[in-house]
Amino acid sequence: MADVYIDGTLDTTVDTYEPDIHTFRPDLQGGWQAPVYEKTWTSSAEHAIRIVVRADKDMLSQGNIVYLDAFQVTGPQ
């Protein structure tokens, strides 16, 4: 579990737990590069993003570690 802060304000809490084996989703084995959060702004500007690992966890998880393996930023269209 992780809290996502945008510009110093808590925006959401995400559950980053993914089992190592998905019976019905072979494309998500291990959960790597599975999107868990998305934010859209109406105009271009500089923003601060902070991710804070929480003390609580998904009941199936064995620990409190959050791996950030991908981050994508796209400019205005």
Question: Within 13 Å of residue 20, how many CA atoms lie on the same side as its CB?
Answer: 2
Which pLDDT score is estimated for 63?
Answer: 78
List residues bridging with 51 in a β-sheet.
4
Check residue 27 and give its pLDDT: 60
Residue ranges, the chain, pLDDT below 50: none
Q: Per the structure, how many domains does the chain have? A: 1
What is the pLDDT, as a whole number, of residue 50? 95
At 29 the pLDDT is: 56
The pLDDT value recorded for residue 64 is 80
Cα separation, 62 vs 41, whole angstroms: 35
Residue ranges making up the domain that contains 26: 1-77
Report the pLDDT value the prediction gives residue 23, as an integer from 0 to 100: 63
The phi, psi pair for 26, rounded to 5°, reads -60, -20
Q: Which of 52, 47, 45, 53 is nearest to 6 (CA)?
A: 47
